[in-house]
Structure 1
Amino acid sequence: RRETMPEVTTDMVQIKMSYPGASAEEIEEAIIVKIENNLNGIDGINYISSIAKENMGTIKIILEDKVADKQVLLQEIKDSVNRIPDFPADSESPNVQLVKTRTNAMILVLHGHAPERTMRELALDVKDELIAKGASQVAVGGIRNYEIAIEVKREMLRSYDLTMGTITNVIKQGSLNIASGSIKTNTDEYKIEIKGKKYNAEDYRDLLVKTRPDGTAIRLSQIADVSEVFEEGKCQGRFDGKDAILICALRSSDEDIVKLANTINQYVRTKQPDLPEGIELSVFADFSQDVTKRIDLLITNAWQGLILLFFVLWFFLDLKLAFWVSVGIPISFAVTGGLMGIWGETLNSVTLFGLILVLGIVVDDAIVFSENIHSHQKQKDISLMDASINGTYQMAWPVIAAISTTILAFMPLFFIDGKMGQFISIMPFVVITTLLGSLFEGLFILPAHLGHGGHSDKHSPLKILGKKVRHSIESKIDSFINTYYVPFFHISLEYRYATLALIFFTLMCTKGLISGGHIDFVFFPESDGMFLVTNVEFPEGTSFSITRDAIKKLEKSAAVVNEKYGNYGKNGKVIEGVYSETGNKGGAGHVGKVRLTLVQPEDRELPSKDLLNYWREETDDIHNALKITFSSEGGMSMAVKDMEVLISGENFDTLTAATIDFQNKLKNFDGVFDVESDYKPGKRELNVHLTQQGMIMGITLQSLANQLRQGFFGTEVIKLQRGRENINVEVRFSKEERANLGDLYKTLIRTPSGHEIPFDTVAYVKMKRSMSQIMRRDGKRRIRVTSAVDKAVTTPKKLQKMITKKIVPLMAKNIQMLNFPLKAPMKNKISL
C-alpha cells in the first residue's frame, strides 16, 4: 500500500460547540471556561488549548504519551462535559471526538461561467460519483447551503398584531411528522402517523398564521417573503479567472493513494464530455505524484547501481561472482518488503527515503564477502565450496560488527517521543531490516551460490586481456597500499593513544563549531514546494468587495510572475494554475486566499522560494490589511513556523501590550520576516443596555435580547433533510430592515402588557471593538507570535538565543506575570 506520509495518531481530543449569534467573549464565558474547569483533574491530559470565535467554541485536549487506552479517556471526557448543567439554551450539543487524520489524495477544481446553483449541483454530483468510484471521503469547499428564508416585514407584524415568536410557533406546529401510536386488530396492526413536514418554500407560504374575527385567514405569504435561497454570507472561489469550486478526495488509512489517484484521473477524463458547455473539471493537485516519483527514484538508483556493481565486479573479479552479488541486493529488499507487509507498514516518503539511504550500504557487505571468497577460490588445492565457507567465516565477524554499528546508529530513532517519533520511527525499521536481510544473504545464500561449479582452466582471449588490465590496475593499487597506507597504519598502531586523542580532539572541534554557531543547524532543510499560498486578512466587518479587490491584485501579480519567468519552466510557464477564495463558508468576507500550483520541480529552473519572493515583490501594497502572509507548501519541510512564542497572562490589556512590544523588537533582527500574532480585533460591537424607563415598563434583559435576536439574527425553526441536502428554516426580519444602524432604532420593543415602545426609549447603545477570537492555554488567555527566518542570514536556533538574551530580560522588568515558552523546530519548549 502506498501513501504520501506515514499515518500518525494525533493523541488529541477535540470538543466543538456551536452557539449561533454569540460573540467570542460570550463563547469563552458560557462554554470554554465551564468545560476547562470540568476537565481539571482528569488523568492523562497533557494540556488544553482553546479558541473562542463568533458562533463557535473549540477545545483541543492534548493527551499524554503514557495513555494506553484513548477510548476510555475519551469517554471520561465526554461524561465530564455532559455533566455541565448550565450551557446556554440556544447552544447546540457539544461534539466530543478523538481527532483522526486524513490526507488529501487529489484536489479537483470545477470551474466555468455558470450560476452558483448550477455549479453547486454539479460539484455535489462529482462528489457522489467519486464516492461511488471508491473514494472513501470527498469534501466540497466553497459552497453555501440552501435555506428556506422567511423574512418578516415589521409593518405586517404591527398591522396584524403579531410577534416573531408567534410566527415561529406557527411554523413549528405546522411542519412536523409525528408517530401517534398504532391500532392492533385480530388480523393486523396499523401505525398512526402524522405526515405534515414541509420541505419546500412553496409549502410554507400557505401556512395559516392567524384568523381574524370576521373569519379572514392570514397566510404566511401575506406577512413575509418566503423563498429558498443560499444561506447568508459570501464565499467566492475562482480558478484562472473563472468561478470555481474545490473538490478534495481524501485517502483513508487502508487506501492506496496511487490506485485512488489513477481512478480519479480516469474519472476526470470520462466526466469532461458530460459537463455543460463552458464548465471544466481539472486536476488542481495530485498528491500521489510525490510517492510515484520517489518510487521511480528508488528503482532508477537500484538498476543503475546494479549495472555499475555488476560490471565493476565482473571487470575486477569474476562474472559468476558479479552475477550472484547483484542478485543478492534485491533479496535483501525483498526481506524488508515482506516484513513491512507483515507489520502493516506502507510505502511512503519516509520508508522510501530509508530504502534509498540503505541502498548504498547493503552493497558493501556482499562485496566484502564475495571478494574474500574469490581470493580463497584462487587456491587450486581447495574446493570451491570449502573456499566459500572459509572466506565467509573469515569475514563474518568483521561484517557483523560493521552492520551492528550501523544498526546502533539508527536505533535511537525508535525512541523519539511525540508526533515526530511516530513520523520517523519507520525509517530505522526499514534500514535495520534491510541490513539484516543483507547480512543473512551474505552469510548463507551468497556462499552457497559461489561454492558451486568448478575451477576452469579455459582462457579465452577476452579473459586474457581482462586479466592483463586487472593485473595492471591491481599493481598500482598495491603500490599505493605498500607505499602510503601500510606505513601510516603502523604509525597509528605504534602511537595508538595519540591516534585516539586526535580522533577525540576532532570530534570535540566539530561539536564546538556547531554549538558556537559557526556551522548552522536547521532541523528541516528547505525543500522545493509545489504550491505558493498567500493569505490576506482585513479587520472584521470589512466589505466583501474590498477583500475581493485585494485578491484580484494577488491574482494579477501571479500572472506577471508567470509571464516574466515563464521561460524558466516547461511550455513557457512556471505556474500551472491559480485558485483564489474570497470570504469563507462561515460568511466572513474579510479574509481571502490565493493558491498557486507550480510546475513540477524537475520541469522548472527556479525554486519555489525564488518564485515566492518574485510574487511578493510584484504585488502592490494592499492597504488596511491586518495580515498578508506568503508561504510555500508541498515540500518535505514540516509545516511549522521557524519561531513560535506563546505569551500568556490574566490581564488581557497587559497581554496585548506585551505582544505588540515583543513583535516590534523581533522585527529589528536581521533575517526575520513575516512577524505576526494570532490576536485580531473583531467587529464593531453594539452593546445594548436597558434604560430605567425600560425597567419600569417591565422589560427584562432576557426579553430585550430575545426580541432583538429573533429579528436581527433570526431563529432556526426547523432542520430538514431533503435528499442529500441539509436545509434550515430561518425566520428573521427582511434584509432591507436590518441593513444599517438606523434599523435598530426603528425596532419596537413589546412590553409584558402588549404595548410596543420605541427602542431608544427602553434601551441605549454603547459601541466598542470586539475580539474576533480568544485563544487560551491551560486556563489562561494567550497570544501566539510567529515569524519566518531567512536561512541565508540566520537560523531558528540563533534567533532563539537572541530572544533569550536581548528581548526577554527587557520585558521581564516590566511584566512579571507573563511567561514566554519558546518553541523552535529543534526544541519542544523551553521556559524563559
Structure 2
Amino acid sequence: MIDTLSAWFTRNPVAANLLMLLALAGGVFAIQTIRIEGFPALSPGSVTITTVNPGASARQVDQGISRKIEKSLEGMAGIKKISSFSEQNISTVWVQKASRFDLNRFQNEIQERVSSIADLPRQAERPSIRRDEFKVEALLVQIYGDADTATLQKVARNIKDELLAHPKITKIEPFGLLSPEIRIEVDNDRLQAENLSLGDIGAAIERSSLDYRMGSIESDNGRVVLRADSKAAGFRDYAALPLMTLSDGSTLLIGDVADVVGGFAEENRFARFQRQPSVGLQIYTSKKGHLLEVSEAAHQVVDNIRHQLPDNIKVDIWGEYAGYMKTRLSLLAANFMWGLLIVFSLLAVFLNLRLAFWVAMGIPISLAGTLMLMGDRFFGYSLNEITTFGMIIVLGILVDDAVVVGESVFASRRKINNPVEGTIHGVKQVSTATIFGSLTTVAAFLPLLLIDNDLGKLFAGFSVVVVIALLLSLVESKLILPAHLAAIRINTAQPSKRSISRIWQRIQFLANTFLSFANQTIYQPALQRTLRHRYAAILILLTLALCSISIISNGWVRTVFFPEVPGQTISVTLEMVGGSPLSLTHTNIDAIEQAATELNSEVEAELHTKAPPLAKIMTAMTGPLTALIFAELQPEDKRQLKTMETLARWRKKVGVLEGVESLSFSGSLESTGGFDIELDSRDEAVLESAATHFAKSLAKLDGVSDIRDDIKQGKPQIRLKLKPAARHLGLTAEDLAQQIGDGFGGLEVQRVPRDGEEVRVFIKYKKQRRRYTEDLLKIRIQTEKGQWIPLSSVASIKTGSTPSVVLRQNGRRVASIHASLDKKIIGPSEAFKWIEEHIKPEFKQLYPGVNIRGA
C-alpha cells in the first residue's frame, strides 16, 4: 500500500509539491498564531471547598467545618483523595477526582452534598466550591516606595484595575494588598461608665445604618419613590451615629465612646521590594493565553501608567517567564539551523549536492507540519517548556528516514537509467526498514501518553510532539522526497570544467575513498566476525547490559529524575520556633535582607561591576512566624557569579539566627523537586512524636539537610472556662465567649460596598488594651443585670497551645516532612531505599498505627 502510494506521488510531482506547500504554509501560519506558554496548562482534576469562619482557631475550624465536609463526601463516587487544611479562620478541603470521571458531574455532586450540611457554625460563611484551574505564572508587577500605606494600597488597586482592563490579561493574584476595614475601637472604661456592651453598640449601628425597602406614592403626576433608610459609608459616618439618649436629653454618639478608624485589616503580614513597602501583582496566563502577548500587554500598561505615579512610588516588572521562553525558542531555532547545516554538508560531501538539499528539507517540512497539527485547531497544544524540549530532542531523528531513502535512491539511480523507476526502486528497497524503524521509535515515546496522572499529562505534550514529528518525517520521506529525487540528474562520470566544481568533486572523491576504505577494512570484517561468533556477541551484549543495571542498582551511578538545575532566582524560607515574639521575626528578616545588601556591595567591589548579583529582592512576611525572600539574579549573559556560589555566600553571611526553627536557601528550579515524606495516623499525639523521631533519624543520612515538618508547636493559648459560681450571677459560657471574643477578636457588624470591594466594620477594644496578658486580666465581664465582674472572679485561666494548622488526608491526621537533598551525594530513590531499610522496620514496632509514604 505505502509502496503504491509512494510510486504514485513519484510519478505525479505536482501532488508532492502541493503536499509540501500545504505543510510549509500551515507551519508558517501556525507559528504566527500558536499559543506560547511557560508551562503547559493541565486540565483541572480536583475541586477545592473553601469556608471562612471568622475568629475560629485551627482546631475549631477542623472540628466544626473540615471534618463535617469530609463526612458529607463519604461514599461519593469518583473521589480519589480528600485532603483538608484547617487554619485560623479558614477551612480548605481539596477533593481529587478519579481519572476519566466527568468533572462537571463531580463538582455538582460535591455542591449538593456540601449544601446539605445543616450544622456548620453559625458565624461561618457559605462554602465556596470551585474547580482548580491550572495557573501558569507570567510575571510579577511590583508597586513599591516610601509612601504611607493608604497611598500605596490605592495606587496598587488602580494599577491592578488598569491591568485587568487589558483584554490580554485575565488573571491576577495580589499579595501585600490589604483588606479595607473600619474599626470601632472602644474605650472599655467608658463602656462600663455608660453600662454598655459591644453588643449594644452593634445594635445601635444596625438601627441607624441600614438598607431597607423603598415605598412609593402613586399620583396622577407619576410615581414618587420614598426612602427613609440611611447607610453609613465611611468611618466619619459611623462615628456620627447615635448610640443612646442621655438623661439630660443629649445624644451620646459612637464617636464619644470609641475611636472610629478607617484603615486596613490588622495582619502580621507585609511585603517589601528592594527593602521598601510594596504590593505585588502576580499575573498568570489563562488556559488559552499567549505568554508573550501577556508580557507585552503588562509592559504596555505599566509604561502608560508610570508617569502618573507619585514621585515616591515606583513600579517594576520582574520574574518574567517570557524572557526564558524567548531563550528557549532561540535555542530551538539555533538547533534547527545547525541540524540543517550538518545534514546538508555531510550528504553533499558523500552523495550529491541537490540530493543533500532535498533530504535536509525534511527537517523544516516535518517541523512545519508538526506546528500546524499541534495547535488549537487540531491537538490543542502550545509552544511551552515541554513541547519545545520535545522539538529539540526530535531534531536529530527527523532526517533518519530521509537519509536512508536518499542513499538508497542514489545507489539505485546509478544502476537504473530511468530516473523515476530508479527512484521508485530505491524507495521500495528500504521501505519496510524505514517504516518499522520509525514505528519502533514512536513506540518508545508512546507510553508517556498512557501515564494516568498529573506527571503523565504534563509530559504528554513532549510525547505528542515527538510522535507527530516522526510520523510526518516518515510521510515526507515516502511521499514528498522521492518526487524531488526523481528530478535530480545523477551523473558523476563527466568531470566539470569549473575550478570550484573540480575542487568539490575532489573533496567528494576523497570522502568516498575514505568511507569505502573504512567499510571494507573495518566494518565488514568486524560484521563477518560477529556473525560467525553470534552467540559470543549476544553473551557480551547481555553481560554489558547486566553490568549497566548492577551499576545503577548498587548506587555506583545515582539516578535522579530531575537534576539540580540552577534557576534565575534564589528563594529563602524562614520559619521561627513557635511562641517567638513578632519583633524577633522582623529582626531576622532584616538580617537576611542586610546580608543580601552586603553581598551585593562586596561583589561589586570585588569584580569591579555595577551589576549586583542579587538584582531584585522581594520579601513577604506570610505570618507571625514565617517569611519568604526571593532574589532575582542578573540575566545569564550578564551574570558574573554563578547561582550556587551566590547562594552559598549569601547563606554564609546570614549565619546563625536566633529563634529559627528552619532556614532554607534554594537556587534550583522548583521542578527539580524536593524530597517529601508523609506520615499519617488517627492519633495526633502519636503522629507528632513519630514526626519528630522520623526527622531525627533522617538527619543521620549524608546529603540530607534542612529537614522540617509541618507539625508546629502551635500558638500560645489562654483557655478561659466559666466558673460554676458565675452561673448564679446569670452568666453563661456563651456570654463569656462573646465578650472575650468580640472585644479581643472583633465583632463584625456590617459590610459596606466601596469601589467593587466590601469594607468590613468591626467593633473591638482599643489596640493598646489588647496587647498583653495583663490587659486580659483587667477586663470585667458584664452580667445580664448590668453588673461588671472581674474576669478572674467568673472564669478560670489556663495556659497552653493550640495548633496553627491541622492537616488531614482521607480522614487521617497527616504530617509532611520535607528535606533538601544534595544530589551530588544522594538521589531521591536512594533516600527512599535507605528509609525502607533503616527507618521503616523500627517504626513498625514503635508506631504501629503510623503509615509512611512518599508525598
- Residue 357 of structure 1 corresponds to 393
Structure 1 residues 283-294: aligned runs within 5 Å: 283-294=317-328
Change over 3 Å in CA distance of 1:313–1:627 after alignment to 2: same
- Residue 9 of structure 2 corresponds to none
Is residue 2:632 matched to residue 1:600? no
Give the aligned residue type for 2:256.
Answer: Q
Partner Cα distance (1:320, 1:492) in 2: 37
Alpha-carbon displacement from aligned partner over 1:754-801 (angstroms, at most 9, x marks no partner): 322221111120011221111112212221112111111111111112
Partner Cα distance (2:304, 2:107) in 1: 44
Is residue 2:523 matched to residue 1:485? yes
2:40–2:458 contact (8 Å) kept in structure 1: yes
Q: How many residues align?
A: 814
- Residue 482 of structure 2 corresponds to 447
Alpha-carbon displacement from aligned partner over 1:177-225 (angstroms, at most 9, x marks no partner): 2223556667855555454111111111221111134422111111111
Partner Cα distance (2:610, 2:352) in 1: 48
Instruction: Return 418-427 or 531-540, whichever deviates more.
Output: 531-540
Alpha-carbon displacement from aligned partner over 1:668-709 (angstroms, at most 9, x marks no partner): 111110111001122211110111220222211011111212
Q: Secondary structure at the match of 2:311?
A: coil
Alpha-carbon displacement from aligned partner over 1:415-473 (angstroms, at most 9, x marks no partner): 11210011001111111111111111111111111212556657233323322222222
Give the aligned residue type for 1:627.
Answer: S
Of the candidates 47, 71, 75, which is equivalent to residue 81 of structure 2?
Answer: 47
Partner Cα distance (1:458, 1:266) in 2: 62
- Residue 506 of structure 2 corresponds to 468
- Residue 735 of structure 1 corresponds to 767
- Residue 539 of structure 2 corresponds to 501
Deviation at 1:589, TM superposition (A): 2.7
Partner Cα distance (1:594, 1:685) in 2: 29
Of the candidates 400, 414, 417, which is equivalent to residue 452 of structure 2?
Answer: 417
Q: Secondary structure at the match of 2:566?
A: coil
Partner Cα distance (1:706, 1:572) in 2: 57
Is residue 2:561 matched to residue 1:528? no
- Residue 384 of structure 2 corresponds to 348
Structure 1 residues 8-407: aligned runs within 5 Å: 8-67=42-101, 69-134=102-167, 135-180=169-214, 191-341=225-375, 342-379=378-415, 382-407=417-442
1:568–1:604 contact (8 Å) kept in structure 2: no
Is residue 2:618 matched to residue 1:579? yes
1:168–1:731 contact (8 Å) kept in structure 2: yes
Partner Cα distance (2:297, 2:693) in 1: 53
Extract unaligned runs of 5+ from structure 2: 1-34
Alpha-carbon displacement from aligned partner over 1:650-680 (angstroms, at most 9, x marks no partner): 3322221221111111111111101110011
Question: TM-score with structure 1 length normalisation?
Answer: 0.94
Partner Cα distance (1:541, 1:132) in 2: 44
Partner Cα distance (2:672, 2:312) in 1: 37
Of the candidates 496, 500, 505, which is equivalent to residue 459 of structure 1?
Answer: 496
Give the aligned residue type for 1:441.
Answer: E
2:50–2:128 contact (8 Å) kept in structure 1: yes
1:106–1:285 contact (8 Å) kept in structure 2: yes
- Residue 514 of structure 1 corresponds to 552
1:569–1:603 contact (8 Å) kept in structure 2: no
Instruction: Return 497-506 or 94-103, whichever deviates more.
Output: 497-506
Give the aligned residue type for 1:619.
Answer: V
Of the candidates 638, 641, 645, which is equivalent to residue 610 of structure 1?
Answer: 645
Change over 3 Å in CA distance of 1:383–1:189 after alignment to 2: farther
2:192–2:788 contact (8 Å) kept in structure 1: no
2:38–2:137 contact (8 Å) kept in structure 1: no
Partner Cα distance (1:5, 1:649) in 2: 36
- Residue 27 of structure 2 corresponds to none
Q: Secondary structure at the match of 1:111?
A: strand
Deviation at 1:58, TM superposition (A): 1.4
1:540–1:772 contact (8 Å) kept in structure 2: no
Instruction: Return 94-103 or 345-354, whichever deviates more.
Output: 94-103
Alpha-carbon displacement from aligned partner over 1:477-515 (angstroms, at most 9, x marks no partner): 211211121122122223334333333332232222222
1:127–1:139 contact (8 Å) kept in structure 2: no
- Residue 827 of structure 1 corresponds to none
Give the aligned residue type for 2:513.
Answer: S
Alpha-carbon displacement from aligned partner over 1:514-537 (angstroms, at most 9, x marks no partner): 222222111111112111111212
Give the aligned residue type for 2:396.
Answer: G
Give the aligned residue type for 1:208.
Answer: P
Instruction: Return 403-412 or 741-750, whichever deviates more.
Output: 741-750
Partner Cα distance (1:16, 1:627) in 2: 29
Deviation at 1:724, TM superposition (A): 3.3
Structure 1 residues 785-804: aligned runs within 5 Å: 785-804=817-836
Partner Cα distance (1:785, 1:580) in 2: 24
Give the aligned residue type for 1:235.
Answer: R
1:553–1:620 contact (8 Å) kept in structure 2: no
Deviation at 1:632, TM superposition (A): 2.7
Partner Cα distance (2:854, 2:295) in 1: 40
Give the aligned residue type for 1:77.
Answer: I
Deviation at 1:290, TM superposition (A): 2.0
1:645–1:821 contact (8 Å) kept in structure 2: yes
Partner Cα distance (1:522, 1:275) in 2: 49
Give the aligned residue type for 1:499.
Answer: A
RMSD: 2.1
Partner Cα distance (2:640, 2:547) in 1: 38
Deviation at 1:241, TM superposition (A): 2.5
Deviation at 1:269, TM superposition (A): 3.3
- Residue 826 of structure 1 corresponds to none
Partner Cα distance (1:254, 1:195) in 2: 47
2:563–2:672 contact (8 Å) kept in structure 1: no
Change over 3 Å in CA distance of 1:455–1:102 after alignment to 2: closer
Instruction: Return 97-106 or 596-605, whichever deviates more.
Output: 596-605
Partner Cα distance (2:420, 2:224) in 1: 89
2:677–2:818 contact (8 Å) kept in structure 1: yes
Partner Cα distance (2:597, 2:47) in 1: 42
Partner Cα distance (1:716, 1:450) in 2: 82
- Residue 624 of structure 2 corresponds to 589
Instruction: Return 507-516 or 711-720, whichever deviates more.
Output: 507-516
- Residue 651 of structure 1 corresponds to 683
Among the aligned pairs, what percent are the same residue?
A: 28
Deviation at 1:540, TM superposition (A): 4.8
- Residue 756 of structure 1 corresponds to 788
Partner Cα distance (2:699, 2:117) in 1: 45
Partner Cα distance (1:572, 1:149) in 2: 46
2:713–2:803 contact (8 Å) kept in structure 1: yes
Change over 3 Å in CA distance of 1:541–1:374 after alignment to 2: same
Question: TM-score with structure 2 length normalisation?
Answer: 0.91
Give the aligned residue type for 1:577.
Answer: K
1:302–1:359 contact (8 Å) kept in structure 2: yes
Is residue 2:584 matched to residue 1:550? no
Partner Cα distance (2:780, 2:830) in 1: 63
Deviation at 1:49, TM superposition (A): 1.3
Q: Secondary structure at the match of 2:852?
A: coil
Q: Secondary structure at the match of 2:660?
A: coil
Partner Cα distance (2:365, 2:227) in 1: 69
Is residue 2:726 matched to residue 1:723? no
